[in-house]
C-alpha cells in the first residue's frame, strides 16, 4: 500500500502546520492538554519555538542534543489522538511518546509515581476503526525499553504494565460520582476485574495510540504520572503531586529521547 506523505509545504488540516516546520524532526512527544505543550517543550530541550495552534492541537519544536523534537497536544480521547497520528505520519514523524496523567487501580502504586504502559485494554472506539477487536494494543518494544531504562537511570519510581483505556471518564472507568451516579451493567464490577488481571491504571488515550500507531507503521510508547489513586479516592490529587509526577516524566522522556536518538 502506498503511503500518503505530505508535500514539504502542505499544511495539515487539523494540526495546522506543514512538514517544513518540523525541521527534520521524526520524534514527537504528545501530551493531551494544549496548555502543557509550551512548558514541556521548554523543559525537555533547548531553543523551544512555537509552531501552530489549531483546535486541540498546539505544537512547539524543541531540540534535544541538537536534534529537533516535536511537542504536540492531542486533546482528550481516542478520536483526537487518531487524527493527530494520521497527520503527523504524513509529515514524517516515526516515533511518538504519549505523556499524560492517570489514575492507578493498584494499591502498590503511589501518587506521583510514573507508569509506563506496555499494552492497553481496548475500551475505546477509535482503535476499532483501524483493527479488529482481537488485535492487541501494544507499545513499541524499543520505545518502551527506552522509557524504562531512562526511568531506572534517573531514579524515578516507575511501574511497567497494562493500562485500561476508556472512552469515558466516568462510567467506563466505573466512577459513581458522576451527575447521575449510574454505571451501565457492562462496567459494574469491572475495576475489580482489571485489578485482578494486574492492570495498573485507567486513562483515555493509550489503546488508540498503540493500535493506530501500529496500523500506520509508527513506534509508540506511553508514560503517565499518577494523580489519582482509585483504591483510596476518586479525587485528583493536589497540585504538588502533579508537579512531582511531571518532573519525573520530563526526566524519563528526555532520557528516552536521547536513547532513541542514539539507536536510530
Point out the residues that are catalytic: 14, 87, 175, 230
CA distances from 258 to 13, 53, 209, 217 (A): 31, 27, 22, 21
β-pairing, 67-72 with 57-64?
antiparallel
Question: Dihedral of the CA atoms 66, 7, 221, 49 (nearest 10)?
Answer: 40
Cite the beta strand spans of 75-157 per DSSP E. Answer: 95-104, 114-123, 137-138
State the Cα–Cα distance between residues 263 and 244, nearest whole angstrom.
Answer: 29
Sole residue written with cell 501494544: 138
Question: 165 by DSSP, 3-state: which?
Answer: strand
Widest distance between CA atoms in the chain:
52
CA distances from 108 to 15, 126, 157, 199 (A): 39, 31, 11, 12
Residue 225 φ/ψ, nearest 5 degrees: -95, 135
State the Cα–Cα distance between residues 159 and 165, nearest whole angstrom.
Answer: 17
Question: 215 by DSSP, 3-state: which?
Answer: helix
Amino acid at each position: 500500500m502506498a503511503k500518503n506523505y505530505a508535500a514539504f509545504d502542505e499544511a495539515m488540516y487539523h494540526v495546522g502546520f506543514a512538514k517544513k516546520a518540523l525541521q527534520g524532526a521524526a520524534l514527537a512527544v504528545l501530551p493531551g492538554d494544549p496548555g502543557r505543550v509550551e512548558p514541556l517543550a521548554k523543559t525537555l530541550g533547548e531553543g523551544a519555538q512555537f509552531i501552530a495552534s489549531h483546535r486541540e492541537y498546539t505544537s512547539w519544536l524543541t531540540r534535544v542534543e541538537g536534534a529537533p523534537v516535536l511537542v504536540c497536544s492531542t486533546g482528550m480521547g481516542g478520536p483526537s489522538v487518531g487524527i493527530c497520528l494520521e497527520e503527523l505520519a504524513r509529515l514524517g514523524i516515526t516515533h511518538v511518546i504519549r505523556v499524560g496523567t492517570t489514575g492507578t487501580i493498584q494499591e502498590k502504586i503511589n501518587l506521583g509515581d510514573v507508569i509506563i504502559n506496555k499494552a492497553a485494554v481496548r475500551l475505546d472506539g477509535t482503535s476499532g476503526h483501524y483493527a479488529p477487536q482481537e488485535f492487541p494494543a501494544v507499545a513499541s518494544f524499543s520505545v518502551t525499553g527506552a522509557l524504562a531504562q531512562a526511568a531506572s537511570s534517573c531514579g524515578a519510581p516507575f511501574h511497567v504494565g497494562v493500562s485500561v483505556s476508556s472512552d469515558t471518564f466516568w462510567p467506563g472507568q466505573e466512577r459513581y460520582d458522576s451527575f447521575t451516579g449510574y454505571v451501565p451493567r457492562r462496567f459494574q464490577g469491572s475495576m475489580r476485574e482489571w485489578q485482578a488481571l494486574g492492570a495498573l491504571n485507567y486513562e483515555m488515550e493509550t489503546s488508540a495510540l498503540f493500535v493506530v500507531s501500529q496500523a500506520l507503521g509508527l513506534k509508540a510508547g506511553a508514560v503517565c504520572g499518577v494523580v489519582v489513586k482509585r483504591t483510596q479516592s476518586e479525587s485528583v490529587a493536589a497540585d504538588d503531586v502533579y508537579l512531582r509526577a511531571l518532573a519525573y516524566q520530563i526526566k524519563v522522556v528526555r532520557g528516552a529521547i536521547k536513547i532513541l536518538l542514539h539507536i536510530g
